[in-house]
Amino acid sequence: MPDTVVDRLEAVRAAIVRAEAEAERAAGSAALVAVSKTYGEEAILPVLEAGQRIFGENKVQEAKAKWPALRERFPDIELHLIGPLQSNKAGEAVALFDVIETVDREKIAAALAKEMEKQNRRPRLFVQVNTGEEPQKAGIAPNETIAFVARCRDMHGLAIEGLMCIPPADENPGPHFALLARLAREAGLSKLSMGMSGDYDIAVSLGATSMRVGSAIFGARASSAP
């Protein structure tokens, strides 16, 4: 691994450009979401100074402690919530995030709709799909996804932009990415959030429009945050 966070960011950017070219996709069609969970300002600042603007966090409270100050200095930051959302945090999530990638049940859809109305703020939304149908993992089951996307729209007035998945850690991710792409096509959605440090190049080849990359940029995390 390259030595500094900026060297690693550049290496990831270069690998994405290569993967886009190999898949005959337009340069820049696959966006990098830098996952900064567990890392503080001293690690994040050089990445911001190197021009990265899209970041992902998995916890509302942690993001709330870190990002408002950074946003004052870099107003064009785009912050993604990529971790599970509790309905009692929906208000804070709507206030803080530009994209919420983890809409995965009726109760969350209803809570987000209510808060978006109240705050007159409309973060972009993704539905998380549990492509591996793992009992411990968040996300809607694949065979319920299309109906859930329709209910978000028709019952809650939520515009869902795309789908997100986290494949099982011990499986080849390719089939999971392909399944997510197929479900998005069938639901009429254009955005796919898939791919992490170990497999973002494969995700690009299977149509990812954003990849969530943490440790390949920031280094191994001290805690084993999921």
Ligand X SMILES: *Cc1c(COP(=O)(O)O)cnc(C)c1O
Binding site for ligand X (CB under 6 A): 35, 37, 58, 82-83, 166, 196-197, 212-216, 226
CA distance readout (Å), 15 to 24, 30, 137: 14, 11, 29
**d(C-alpha 79, C-alpha 114), whole Å:** 21
Report the residue number, 111 or 196, with the smaller CB distance to ligand X: 196
Q: Which residue is nearest to ligand X (CB)?
A: 214
Dihedral of alpha carbons 88, 53, 182, 204, sign? negative
CB of 63 to ligand X, least distance (A): 12
CB of 7 to ligand X, least distance (A): 17
Amino acid at 139: G
CB of 118 to ligand X, least distance (A): 27
Report the residue number, 19 or 213, with the smaller CB distance to ligand X: 213
CB of 226 to ligand X, least distance (A): 6
**d(C-alpha 198, C-alpha 149), whole Å:** 29
CB of 83 to ligand X, least distance (A): 6
Residue 196 structure tokens: 């992490």
Report the residue number, 37 or 156, with the smaller CB distance to ligand X: 37
CB of 216 to ligand X, least distance (A): 6
The dihedrals phi and psi of 74, each to the nearest 5 degrees, come to -130, 80
Report the residue number, 20 or 104, with the smaller CB distance to ligand X: 104
Q: How wide is the angle at C-alpha 74 spanned by C-alphas 70 and 77, nearest 5°?
A: 90
Report the residue number, 89 or 120, with the smaller CB distance to ligand X: 89
CA distance readout (Å), 163 to 22, 156, 223: 23, 17, 27
Report the residue number, 111 or 213, with the smaller CB distance to ligand X: 213
DSSP secondary-structure letter at 83? S
Residue 110 structure tokens: 């209803």
Q: Is 58 left (phi over 0), alpha (psi -120 to 50) or beta?
A: alpha
